[in-house]
Amino acid sequence: MLLIVQIPCHNEEAGVGAVIRSVPRVIAGVDRVEVLVIDDGSSDRTADEARAAGADHLLRLRGHRGLARAFEAGIDAALRLGADLVVNIDGDGQYAGEEIPLLLAPILEGRADAVIGDRGIRDSRDYPALKKGLQAAGTWTVRALSGTQVKDAASGFRAWTREAAQRLHLVSDFTYTLESLIQAGKDRLRVESVPVSARPVARPSRLFDSIPQYLRRSAATLIRIYALYEPLRVFAALGGVIFSAGFFIGLWFIYYFVAQGGKGHVQLLILSAVLLIIGFQILVMALLADLIGANRKLLGDLLFRIKRLETERRNPGADRD
């Protein structure tokens, strides 16, 4: 059984070497452990430090593509290398590579398809109250949208089986953490959380410039991904609210029409008609979006089968999931 530990990096020359050296090379239940570093267009010596620290594979992207694209490139490369298990760990030293066996335990015991490391932010004194509140709110939202019981939705310390990794198809350019969880929930994958230690990162985040920007982009990602997987529910709810508003405003006009002998309040009739038309159009859009969503599921299954065939072709001796 081959474990690939992937480390997406962008200008992490100061810490990537320590992260690589912290990865245990002998893990019970795993035959071989290899480290894959994804250099996301770094302008420093990240690649040189990775080689010096003993990285088995180095994937260098042309230009800075962002965390989501670097993560996806790493998953694709790991599968092509024949990985049976994939672990993702950040290159900034936030997570302890020595705890990878803890992360893998639920998978090796057959209880989970994907495991998320829980940093315990809500009970930690190392994180400010604002970050605790945002983490709790974000995790609650992702749990509600994905149907999973994950405890730390933003954690980048994660493990997947080969089949779970083959089912990852990202569309976001911002971050993979939220989208992959919603996708896992909608694909009915077994997702577990395990407590892990984490060190606060002193340097500013390279993913976003400010908290408002992070909130805005995260909210847009959640809405987009949930609408992608549940288009009928999203558009039907929106259309239903608008149509209902138009209907009740129409009843209000009828009341005034009867009570006052048909005089005045024509503006209510116009508003009611506009809302009813818009609401009906959105409801029709909901049906069309649901049909498109069915095609998305078929395409997702097709991509999964293609990835499986590619893995088997490149690694004929690999076990089928």
Q: What's the order of all strands across the beta sheet hosting 191-195? A: 57-61, 32-40, 2-9, 85-88, 158-161, 114-118, 191-195
Q: Where are the alpha helices (DSSP H) in 174-265?
A: 177-186, 211-229, 231-259
Tell me the C-alpha distance between 251 and 72, whole Å.
53
Distance CA 125, CA 123 (A): 7
Q: Where are the domains of the chain?
A: 2-229, 231-299
Q: What is the mean pLDDT of each run of 10 residues along the chain (321 residues)?
A: 93 91 93 94 91 93 86 90 93 90 94 92 72 79 85 90 88 79 87 87 58 75 78 88 93 83 77 93 87 73 74 56 36
Inter-residue contact 16 to 54 (CB < 8 Å): no
Class of domain 2-229: alpha beta
User: From CA 163, how far away is CA 165, in angstroms rounded?
Assistant: 5
Q: What is the pLDDT of residue 319?
A: 45
Predicted pLDDT at 191: 93
pLDDT attached to residue 183: 85
Q: What CA–CA distance (Å, rounded) separates 13 from 82? A: 28
What pLDDT is attached to residue 311? 67
Give the tokens for residue 178: 């939220």
Cβ atoms of residues 197 and 123 within 8 Å? no
Task: Answer yes or no: are the C-beta atoms of 10 and 73 closer than 8 Å.
Answer: no
Strands 32-40 and 57-61, by their bridges, are parallel
The CA distance from 93 to 201, in Å, is: 8
**Residue 317, Cβ neighbours under 10 Å: how many?**
6
Query: At how many degrees (to 10) do helices 67-80 and 266-314 cross?
Result: 30
> 249, exposed or middle or buried, with CB in 10 Å at 0-12, 13-18, 19+?
buried
Closest Cα partner for 178 from 68, 66, 304, 74? 68
Give the model's pLDDT for residue 320: 39
- Which pairs with CB-CB distance under 8 Å and at least 24 residues apart come from 302-311? 303/169, 304/166, 304/167, 307/79, 307/166, 308/163, 308/166, 310/79, 310/80, 311/79, 311/80, 311/82, 311/162, 311/166
